[in-house]
Amino acid sequence: MAKMRVAQVSRAGGPFELVERDIPEPGPGQVRIRVHACGVCHSDSVVKEGHFPGIVFPRVPGHEAVGQVDKLGAGVTGFRTGQRVGVGWNGGYCGRCNFCRRGDFFACTGPHEITGVTTDGGFAEYMLALENAVALVPDELTAVEAGPLMCAGITTFNALRNSGARGSDLVAVLGLGGLGHLGVQFAAKMGFRAVGIARGKDKEPLARQLGAWHYIDSQAQDPAAELQKLGGAKVILATVTAGDAMSAAMGGLAPNGTFLVLGTAESIQVSPGMLLRGRKSVKGWYSGTAIDSQDTLAFSVLTGVRSMNEEYPLDRVNEAYERMMSGKARFRAVLNIGK
């Protein structure tokens, strides 16, 4: 039987191990993908550290996977071999539960999957995916370029386009890491007055280069007060994972503004008075489904939005993961699994 290399985690808190496995056969409704690249995301830590309830080890993480359809399982009609495709966090949904019937596929309570969490993901030469989890990837993007758009990209793009902000509205992006550096680009290209907020004056040139109209150094300035000086933000896109940084920025919302939480902080402090006086809201955003990924990729091709990536071969996955977790990656670590 033909073999493949995968990077698996065997126990909670254990390292990634490079092992050989049989190349899996696609089951009914599944496509097999020859993976060419896969981004490394902060959410991979729920697998690596064993934080996801009921996780089964060994597990191959990776939910920013891009490659080529290699083989079709029984009943797959929407794809053909050779097509370039990608898979994100949403690993497929039932289509029959009440949430799916209302079009809220992200909230599926029937049989559903999370790529690289409940199924083996893209830190591998081959992976399987349910047909409704697969997005087409346009020729204009390389696999390494498209990878981070499958989670960091779709999450920021889809949150912003559903945020209610309109052209010229003030939209702040808190954090300039893997998600934030894409968030600023999307916000600027959608026609918002994009404000970058990060720690240190040295990040300002980067924020401007990404399209920020204004920059706030959260170490030297009070981000909430600075946003209020600009009239208040219609939306604050919180991409950081520090709850105190989120709480410090929340006061910068304009009346009717929305604080959109994307980073998985432990907790945040919210002032009920601020919310009710200004009719403001705090909400989370789930990345999206395969068609949202396709829209993210199409928008990125149209407008030139790109992730800035550090590339690593599959056998340096531990280093790539440490770089991402340390917050030092500039700005997304991507495994180039090539041919």
Per CB under 5 A, residues contacting Zn ion are 41, 43, 93-94, 97, 100, 108, 110, 151
User: Before 58, cis peptide (omega within 30)?
Assistant: yes
The whole-angstrom separation of Cα 41 and Cα 178 is: 8
Task: Supply the minimum distance, in Å, between the C-beta of residue 177 and Zn ion.
Answer: 12
Complex with Zn ion: residue 87 or 207, whichever CB lies closer: 87
Task: Supply the minimum distance, in Å, between the C-beta of residue 167 and Zn ion.
Answer: 29
Task: Supply the minimum distance, in Å, between the C-beta of residue 279 and Zn ion.
Answer: 32
Residue 237 tokens read as: 């896109």
CB–CB of 12/54 below 8 Å?
A: no
Complex with Zn ion: residue 42 or 280, whichever CB lies closer: 42
The whole-angstrom separation of Cα 14 and Cα 121 is: 17
Complex with Zn ion: residue 4 or 97, whichever CB lies closer: 97
CB–CB of 173/165 below 8 Å?
A: no
Q: What is the CB-side half-sphere exposure of residue 226 using CA atoms within 13 A?
A: 19
Provide the 3-class DSSP secondary structure of residue 63.
coil
Task: Supply the minimum distance, in Å, between the C-beta of residue 13 and Zn ion.
Answer: 20
Complex with Zn ion: residue 41 or 216, whichever CB lies closer: 41
Roughly what angle, to the nearest 10 degrees, separates helices 180-189 and 152-161?
40
CB–CB of 151/89 below 8 Å?
A: yes
Complex with Zn ion: residue 170 or 261, whichever CB lies closer: 261
Task: Supply the minimum distance, in Å, between the C-beta of residue 155 and Zn ion.
Answer: 7
Complex with Zn ion: residue 98 or 168, whichever CB lies closer: 98
Q: Nearest Cα to 206, choosing from 230, 173, 235?
A: 173
Task: Supply the minimum distance, in Å, between the C-beta of residue 103 and Zn ion.
Answer: 11
Burial of 37 (0-12, 13-18, 19+ CB in 10 A): buried
Complex with Zn ion: residue 8 or 43, whichever CB lies closer: 43
Task: Supply the minimum distance, in Å, between the C-beta of residue 127 and Zn ion.
Answer: 15
Q: Nearest Cα to 191, choosing from 216, 160, 215?
A: 160
Residue 173 tokens read as: 């992006």
